[in-house]
Amino acid sequence: MTFLYDKDHHFNLANIVTFANIASGVLAIYFLTHSSFFMAALFAWIGGACDIIDGKIARKYNLSTEFGVQLDSFADFLSFVIVPCMFIYFAIIDPMQDSINFIFTAFVFIYYVISGLRRLIQFNINSDAGEVAKHFTGVPTPLGAILLWVVYLVWLTGILSPLIVLLLTVVIGFLLNSKIKIPHP
């Protein structure tokens, strides 16, 4: 079991937790496609917890590597870009799709996915394995996912229309690549 603490092993402890994040994202997608929104949200939040834990493990046990940085971004893309985007679509937009323009809806979700992907690629280009910056430039994808979650919760109250939800999705997508400085926790 020494491989768990071997920095060069792709299945070290930090990466295993990242793989758990990926598995949680896949399960969240499964439940979204079966209209089980509670279970989808549960696995999305489990993925978020894994994202926090994997970084702490990597720093504590000096397991940060370029492979781990890339793996973490792939996990973030799934759990914090694809899953929340699909959550908004399946929970809010899909049931009302007949009353919303398809081309606009497609633009919104494609825009958000590309914005999240661009943000993660830029983060990888600018980061060094094991180093933690004092602040993020632009909204990090986990915070973007939380903001979409808040949009969903507010939508549940009946205050927001599906069109406003789509517009807020575009705004959050824009913020992912903005110049806003967010302190690193």
> In the chain, what are the helix, strand and coil shares in percent, each to the nearest 5?
75, 5, 20
Segment (H or E) for 81: none
What is d(CA 117, CA 40) in angstroms, rounded to the nearest whole number? 21
Number of neighbouring beta carbons within 10 Å of residue 185 = 7
Q: What is residue 126's predicted lDDT score, i.e. its pLDDT?
A: 83
Confidence at residue 130, expressed as pLDDT on a 0 to 100 scale: 57
Q: How many domains does the chain have?
A: 1
pLDDT along the chain (185 residues), means of 10: 78 95 98 97 97 94 92 97 97 85 94 97 79 81 96 96 96 96 83
What is residue 80's predicted lDDT score, i.e. its pLDDT? 97
Provide the pLDDT for residue 151. Answer: 97
pLDDT value, residue 106: 94
Q: What CATH number does residue 30 fall under? A: 1.20.120
pLDDT at position 172 is 98
| Residue 20 near residue 28, CB atoms below 8 Å | no
Domain residue limits at 125:
2-183
Rounded to the nearest 10 degrees, the angle between the axes of helix 66-77 and helix 37-60 is 170
* Run of H or E including 114: helix 102-126
Angle at 38 between CA 30 and CA 148, to 5 degrees: 85
